[in-house]
Amino acid sequence: MIASRLAFAGALLAWPSVALAQAPQGEVLIYERADFRGRSIAVRDDLGDFELAGLNDRAASLYVLSGTWEFCTDAYYRGSCRYYEPGQYRSLGEQARRISSGRLVGAGQGAGHVLRPGAGRWQDVGRGDVSLFDARDFRGFLATLSDPARDFGRLGINDKVASIIVNRGTWEFCTDAQFRGACHVYGPGEYRSLAAGRDDAYSSARPVHPRPPSVVSQPVAKGSPDRWSGGQPRIALFEGADFQGRSVWLAASMTNLELVDFNDRARSVVVEGGTWRLCSDAGNTGECHELGPGRYPAIPRGLQGRLSSVRMR
């Protein structure tokens, strides 16, 4: 087993020299240490379990050459997940040495994808392959699905699913018919038991794919953020004064910055187009200030280290 994993990791390391001319839709270099040091692998396709490449819980920096990527702390795209656009990420912050899976969610060199406010994170993609069982440990076979099933009652399996094998695709299971109620997403893999509250609770399921994100962690050159070209308005939040530290670009209103792990952190801002309302509390409440296009090395004193929501007016 160890030998096969090393061989697989070696194949990954060899990818850059044999496939550069193929213009991949997405490519990311994953490094074992911060500042792009240590062992590295090149990834051009979904990798559901970093253990296969001998890099589980080891990644500390990323260089995204193309595409938008989602990296998660658990195998098969579960746990805490974040998006990364093309750029250099010398440190992964709280995700450092915790990443266990990654996949391409947007192809090409730039983002160009905006998630409209109110839209769900997942979108229906048509087909997949999942097997359902009536008891834990894959006992009591119920059915194999390849298309969306809006109502398990019609299949005679409502509130019966206790274990799952996802053979292909990513599936969303919901406690109510028509993909409503409490929904949970499962990537490829074996689920011998379901968490409390989910066992014998599902009433619908469908294959899904993550929608392209409106918010991405994106590196910005210190002291010289990109100038606005007249495109869609956006705002950049920086963890330190004078545009220092980790940054996040927002292309739409965000009622709770906790969703992008940036609550109570921003200390400087760059506004590229539009007028933005910045508030100390979630839901665009609390102490608020409006900022127009420009560079703000220090945001208003009442919002320093307290910013929790932003809204484009």
All structural domains of the chain with their residue ranges: 2-106, 122-210, 220-312
With a CB cutoff of 8 Å and minimum separation 6, the contacts of 280 are 286, 287, 288, 302, 303, 306, 307, 308
CATH number of 2-106: 2.60.20.10
Q: Is 78 within 8 Å of 102 (Cβ atoms)?
A: no
Question: Do 122-210 and 2-106 fall under one CATH topology?
Answer: yes
d(CA 92, CA 181): 34
Fold for the domain defined by 220-312: Gamma-B Crystallin; domain 1 (2.60.20)
What's the average pLDDT block by block, 10 residues per block, for the chain (313 residues)? Answer: 37 34 64 84 81 83 83 83 80 87 66 30 64 93 90 94 86 88 78 84 84 41 42 81 82 76 88 89 87 88 91 83
CATH number of 122-210: 2.60.20.10
Closest CA relative to residue 11, chosen from 57, 59, 47, 37: 47
Q: What are the beta bridge partners of residue 30?
A: 41, 62
d(CA 19, CA 27): 11
The radius of gyration computed from the CA coordinates of the chain, to the nearest angstrom, equals: 21
- Residue 72, both tokens: 């998660």
Predicted local distance difference test score (pLDDT) of residue 198? 85
